[in-house]
Amino acid sequence: MRFAKPFTVTIAGAALIALPFAGSALADGARPQPAPTAKAPHAEPAQQVRKDDKHKDARRQAISLKVAVNPSRVRAGSSYGVTILVRGLSSGTAVVTSPEGKSYRVSLSDGRATKELTVPSRARAGSKTVTVKVGNKTATADFTVVAPKEPKRQDRDDRRHDGRK
């Protein structure tokens, strides 16, 4: 094979031919980077709160619950009343739990409710507690159970049944 023109390679030409092959090596070389800056830790993004949620939270915090037992001394076998007063909530449901562990649902009307319960006739004398729960609020009321009355012994004359004296 013979070339029509003699092939001569100059330094500039060789550099141009080698440049595409060396380009990747040059690109991988370390380049000066900007100095790192310290970033302040950012806070969690604020959660979007609907107006309804704000009012619900305010209602939960504004609710107060009071419970009372009347009378405060109850004989075994007798009834007693549980009075519930809720401020900040006009309607809803209260759950009354007796000292024996039985639960009763009571509807609130204008923030008030009552429930009549009976002490079992075989209940032991002593302090007892009634628990009431409305929403996430819980309140208790204490009362005392006293022994049942002894039946009265009637002094009667068994000889006279007709009521004459």
pLDDT tens digits for range 7-44: 566 665 655 565 555 555 555 556 666 666 666 555 56
pLDDT for residue 117: 97
Cβ atoms of 71 and 145 closer than 8 Å: no
Write the Ramachandran bin of 106: left for phi over 0, alpha for psi from -120 to 50, otherwise beta. Answer: beta
pLDDT for residue 148: 81
Is the dihedral angle over the CA atoms 151, 153, 156, 157 positive or is it negative?
positive
pLDDT tens digits for range 55-68: 555 555 578 999 99
Sheet containing 79-87, strands listed edge to edge, beginning at the edge strand earlier in sequence:
64-70, 79-87, 112-118, 103-109, 91-97, 126-134, 137-146, 73-75
pLDDT tens digits for range 69-99: 999 999 999 999 999 999 999 899 999 999 9
Cβ atoms of 78 and 149 closer than 8 Å: no
